[in-house]
Amino acid sequence: MNKPRPTIRDVAALAGVSHQTVSRVINESERVNPETRARVEAAIEELSFVPNAIARSMAQGRTFNLACFSPNLIDYTFAQIIEAAESEVRQHGYFLFACAAPDESSFAALWEQMVEKRRVDGIIVINPYMDGRHTFMNPNFPTVIIGSNPRGDHYSAVNLDNKGGGVEATRHLLSLGHQRLATITGPLAEDVSRDRLNGFQAALQASGYEVKPDQIVEGDWSATSGYRAFQVLWESYHPTAIFAQNDRMAIGVIRAARDAGLRVPEDLSVIGFDDMPLASYFDPPLTTLRQDMMENGREAARLLLESIEQPDTEPGYRMLSTQIVIRNTTQKLNDTERR
Amino acid sequence: MNKPRPTIRDVAALAGVSHQTVSRVINESERVNPETRARVEAAIEELSFVPNAIARSMAQGRTFNLACFSPNLIDYTFAQIIEAAESEVRQHGYFLFACAAPDESSFAALWEQMVEKRRVDGIIVINPYMDGRHTFMNPNFPTVIIGSNPRGDHYSAVNLDNKGGGVEATRHLLSLGHQRLATITGPLAEDVSRDRLNGFQAALQASGYEVKPDQIVEGDWSATSGYRAFQVLWESYHPTAIFAQNDRMAIGVIRAARDAGLRVPEDLSVIGFDDMPLASYFDPPLTTLRQDMMENGREAARLLLESIEQPDTEPGYRMLSTQIVIRNTTQKLNDTERR
DNA sequence: ATGAAAGCGCTAACAA
DNA sequence: TTGTTAGCGCTTTCAT
């Protein structure tokens, strides 16, 4: 049914040249006589020859394949990074494996399959733990980290200015007159969460407030965790404003606040982080910090390609800023209702 | 800096056997003497030898790589399919390229790069146009279609019961006493949209209603298009219930209805399709049809692996049913307000 | 149970 | 400018 595919030698035979010349033609080498090139191209056409990428990889010792390891492929922020990175690398002749690595063991397995087995020329890793637990990681292999702070400058990295975002969110709330602020963090094992929390604390301290433990509750990024975190906070601290470290948790907070009989934003201001799709379609439209994850992915791809194609350059680092988007879940503190 | 990787021959030399025996060991062939095997394994360990996947691909003529072509990698439904498919194939020793193919030319380019250049052993294609425009597609290459109806049984396929879902949504609205129903479709060039529309029409006709053109407006899946479609519909038809073919458009409808001074669900019932994340967190929580996209992706992966590993089996076809999730955007028609 | 020889389809290095 | 000769690192015969 499937006839064997023609090879470079079949083309060579038909064109009456050596297979090497065919190789030169398909690699667009300059050093080919126009007439020979024409003959070869005619032969390629006639046989519908398409070069075999695997054989090329074999001979060159590189695959032009890359991989992106992400905690999952579904979350909007990750998906955006992957889409942007894929598009960027493809424009440069590379292809991207999308791999879900939700835990350490799958990360290790992927490292083995992708890197050790030489399936790819480089990897992008989203949100890895950079505390040294990934002992198999190798700074000599082209790698770009997204969303974690690489320790020791061994790896190229792209990150949001999470601390800056935390500061900005908190200042916004302070500027509205709020004095009882609380925050709901992501898992504190993640750099992202700690950085945003640091921003929250720094902004508060800069304004002369002390930050106490009962102003901080750890969530897991889910709306449900935001819901529960609100209940804990409300019980222990009675905040007038909450900085949720992502939009999903902010949505959970708003629902929980309603269920507790509060109005948002009259009784409680809420600010999120991400500017997720449809953030403006929630009720009320969500105030949040916008992050450009596409740029994040694009930049990571660029750094990766650079470190592959110019192996001697130093690891690169990019920090992307966030931008506040003020909608309707935050407002000036109502003095008469101040608790 | 990077020493050359040990090869199968280095291992062979160290173990004092032929490289062929090493090959047998790493391929877990039975026909190896336990003692020899032990020696070889010790050598592998000592040299930290990891077999090169490219060389293996080269020799075997297969790569254990697959690709998924999707209109994009971000939309929740696509991302779910990709994640599920990736996880499924990885469990079977395969890896998945995620490729965004938003238009025909990128689809064609990917076909060339992935299939013709033999980079992959099979592909999953989400929402392709199966009207014959993709002339390069080849039924002899392992392919699974998701979300389009393959014409002529050449390809394996997985699809939702879109027509059934359309019927169910419409019947739900009818059962609530609504008589003035309208629908907002996705792009009518897509099979999904036409199938859901067919369901809408079939259910209405089965109940003795004639369906007129001004009950149908074409959207593009975006919330914005839902918003605009509502305005058109409201102008021309004054519906009491709207079936939006996805949740984003439903959200747009609700916003538009509010802006027009209507209450949902008191004045207008709205049902969506997808059960997107946070659908229950919108205001009011959205009534919709749930579709299991993970199962969709998993099933597609299974069909693909089957057609690769048992090339002579007939193309498979799976239809997945949808499930209505009744929340608060639909309610019984209020007779006193019937227009 | 093991080894030798011959490729897989291409590119690299050198020669002509 | 073109051809020849060797691989790349593995698997697949086919011997032994």
Determine the average pLDDT of the residues in B13-36.
89
Helix, coil or strand: residue B138: coil
- Partner residue opposite A100 with nearest CB, options B83, B119, B223: B83
Q: Note the pLDDT tens digit of each residue in B242-286.
A: 999 999 999 999 999 999 999 999 999 999 999 999 999 999 999
Tell me, in Å, how far CA of A35 is from C1' of C16? 20
pLDDT confidence of residue A338: 46
Rounded Cα distance between A85 and A132, Å, is 26
H or E segment to which residue B298 belongs: helix B293-309
pLDDT confidence of residue A336: 55
Q: Which residues in chain A are closer than 8 Å to B140, comparing Cβ atoms?
A: 1-2
pLDDT band at B335 (very low <50, low <70, confident <90, very high): low
Q: Which residues in chain A are closer than 8 Å to B283, comparing Cβ atoms?
A: 282-283
pLDDT band at B336 (very low <50, low <70, confident <90, very high): low
Instruction: Label the pairing between strands A288-290 and A323-325.
Output: antiparallel
Distance between alpha carbon A112 and the CA centroid of its chain, in Å? 22
Q: Which residue has the higher pLDDT, B126 or A135?
A: B126
DSSP A20: H
Q: Note the pLDDT tens digit of each residue in B132-175.
A: 778 889 999 999 999 998 888 789 999 999 999 999 999 999 99
DSSP A287: B
Q: Do A73 and B83 touch (CB under 8 A)?
A: yes
Structure tokens belonging to residue A282: 């929630």
Q: What is the Cα gyration radius of chain B?
A: 26
- Residue B339 confidence (pLDDT) above 60: no
pLDDT band at A335 (very low <50, low <70, confident <90, very high): low
What sign does the CA torsion over B116, B119, B123, B127 have?
A: negative
Determine the average pLDDT of the residues in A123-152.
89
Q: Which nucleotides of D are covered by protein (CB under 7 A)?
A: 1-5, 7-13
N-terminal to C-terminal alpha carbon distance within chain A? 79
Which nucleotide minimizes the distance between its C1' and the CA of B12? C3
Determine the average pLDDT of the residues in B168-186.
98
The Cβ of residue A195 has, within 10 Å, a number of other Cβ atoms equal to: 22
- Is there contact between B17 and strand C, defined as CB under 7 Å from any strand atom? yes
- Partner residue opposite B50 with nearest CB, options A74, A95, A116: A116
pLDDT confidence of residue A339: 45
Q: Which residues in chain A are closer than 8 Å to B3, comparing Cβ atoms?
A: none
Q: Note the pLDDT tens digit of each residue in B224-246.
A: 999 999 999 999 999 999 999 99
Helix, coil or strand: residue A156: strand
Q: Which residue type sits at A314?
A: E
Query: Which of B79, B81, B66 lies closest to B123, judged by CA?
Result: B66
H or E segment to which residue A309 belongs: helix A293-309
- Is there contact between A163 and strand D, defined as CB under 7 Å from any strand atom? no
- According to DSSP, the residues that pair with B181 across neighbouring strands are B241
Mean pLDDT score across all residues of chain A: 94
pLDDT confidence of residue A289: 98
pLDDT confidence of residue B220: 97
Query: Which of A4, A8, A48, A1 lies closest to A24, judged by CA?
Result: A8
- Is there contact between B55 and strand D, defined as CB under 7 Å from any strand atom? yes
Q: Which residue type sits at B58?
A: M
Q: Which residues in chain B are closer than 8 Å to A58, comparing Cβ atoms?
A: 54-55, 58
Q: Note the pLDDT tens digit of each residue in A25-40.
A: 999 776 788 899 999 9
Nearest amino-acid residue to D2, taking CA and C1': A21
Rounded Cα distance between B13 and B10, Å, is 5
The Cβ of residue B101 has, within 10 Å, a number of other Cβ atoms equal to: 22
- Residue B34 confidence (pLDDT) above 50: yes
* Buried-exposed string B272-283: b where 16+ CB fall within 10 A, e elsewhere: bbbbbbbbbbbb
* Tokens 């700074």, residue located: A139
Edge-to-edge strands, sheet with A317-320: A317-320, A156-160, A143-146, A122-126, A65-70, A95-100, B95-100, B65-70, B122-126, B143-146, B156-160, B317-320
Range of weakest confidence among A128-132, A173-177, A252-256, B95-99: A128-132
pLDDT confidence of residue A1: 44
- Is there contact between A28 and strand D, defined as CB under 7 Å from any strand atom? no
* Tokens 């469990």, residue located: B91
Q: Do A117 and B51 touch (CB under 8 A)?
A: yes
The shortest C-alpha distance from A36 to chain B (Å) reads 24
* Tokens 């979300």, residue located: B147
Query: Which of B152, B146, B154 lies closest to B126, judged by CA?
Result: B146
Chain B residue at shortest CA distance from A61: B54
H or E segment to which residue A181 belongs: strand A181-185
pLDDT confidence of residue B95: 98
pLDDT confidence of residue A337: 52
Q: Do B80 and A96 touch (CB under 8 A)?
A: no
- According to DSSP, the residues that pair with B99 across neighbouring strands are B69
Chain B residues 89 to 128 whose Cβ lies within 7 Å of strand C are none
Determine the average pLDDT of the residues in B76-86.
97
Q: Do A99 and B90 touch (CB under 8 A)?
A: yes
H or E segment to which residue A339 belongs: none
Q: What is the pTM of this model?
A: 0.95
Q: Do B54 and A50 touch (CB under 8 A)?
A: no
- Is there contact between A59 and strand C, defined as CB under 7 Å from any strand atom? yes
Q: Which residue has the higher pLDDT, B135 or B211?
A: B211
- How deeply is A329 buried, as exposed, middle or buried, from its count of CB atoms within 10 A (0-12, 13-18, 19+)? buried
Determine the average pLDDT of the residues in B60-64.
95
The shortest C-alpha distance from A318 to chain B (Å) reads 23
- The answer to whether residues A254 and A266 touch, using CB atoms and an 8 Å cutoff, is no
Q: What is the Cα gyration radius of chain A?
A: 26
